[in-house]
């Protein structure tokens, strides 16, 4: 608990990249620190930046519905992003921003020690797969598949998922997301 509070304070004062200049609030993450499942998205959006909480906009409503579809609540999982600050105009993160911010995510993973890591979208998939030495492929080929790996903390599972925002602009994808969450819930 103390380690996460210290990390939150460090992130609030972060100046490692220029995103601090345009953010309203950094978005550290939220959920239980004893989560078995940790969701990792890309970066905060407009509403997340305003409130300092992850996944509270349209994509967050989809994520809430997906959690509910498997009988879970936000309070049972941990939700974070690769970047802790919103890129202007919701643009993609730069390599420099990713390099500056991912040590925070690494610390969160070490504090929470989830047994299942669910990546939400391409940027989190890329970082987590690189970090754990997994072979990357297009999300369309590997979504909903379970990748097992051995770590010093024991066996972990990584499950790549489409970002919930995909269902906001392509409603037909909601069924795919629900099916992938069913796989996730059995891990």
Query: Quick one: pLDDT at residue 107?
Result: 96
pLDDT in tens, 100-149: 999 999 999 999 999 999 999 999 999 999 999 999 899 999 999 999 98
Residue 69 pLDDT grade (very low, low, confident, very high; cuts 50, 70, 90): very high
Residue pLDDT, tens place only, 138-153: 999 999 999 998 877 6
Domains of the chain: 2-185 (3.40.470.10)
Residue 169 above 80 pLDDT? yes
Q: Model confidence over 46-61: pLDDT tens digits?
A: 999 999 999 999 999 9
What's the 3-state SS for the chain?
CHHHHHHHHHHHCCCCCHHHHCCCCCCCCEECCCCCEEEEECCCCHHHHHHCCCCCCHHHHHHHHHHHHCCCCHHHCEEEECCCCCCHHHCCCCHHHHHHHHHHHHHHHHHHCCCEEEEECHHHHHHHHHHHCCCCCCHHHHCCCCEEEEECCEEEEEEEECCCCHHHHCHHHHHHHHHHHHHHHCC
């Amino acid at each position: 608990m103390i380690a996460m509070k210290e990390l939150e304070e460090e992130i609030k004062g972060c100046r490692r990249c220029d995103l601090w200049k345009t953010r309203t609030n950094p978005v550290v993450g939220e959920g239980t620190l004893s989560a078995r499942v940790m969701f990792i998205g890309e970066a905060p959006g407009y509403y997340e930046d305003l409130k300092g909480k992850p996944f509270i906009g349209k994509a967050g409503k989809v994520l809430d519905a997906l959690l509910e579809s498997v009988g879970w609540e936000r309070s049972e999982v941990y939700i974070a992003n690769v970047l802790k600050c919103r890129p202007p105009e919701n643009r993609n993160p730069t390599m420099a921003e990713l390099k500056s911010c991912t040590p925070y995510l690494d610390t969160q993973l070490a504090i929470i020690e989830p047994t299942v890591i669910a990546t939400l979208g391409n940027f989190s998939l890329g970082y987590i797969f690189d970090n754990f030495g997994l072979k990357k492929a297009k999300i369309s080929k590997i979504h909903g598949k379970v990748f097992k790996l051995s770590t010093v903390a024991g066996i972990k599972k990584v499950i790549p998922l489409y970002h919930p925002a995909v269902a906001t602009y392509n409603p037909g994808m909601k069924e795919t997301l629900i099916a992938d969450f069913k796989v996730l819930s059995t891990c």
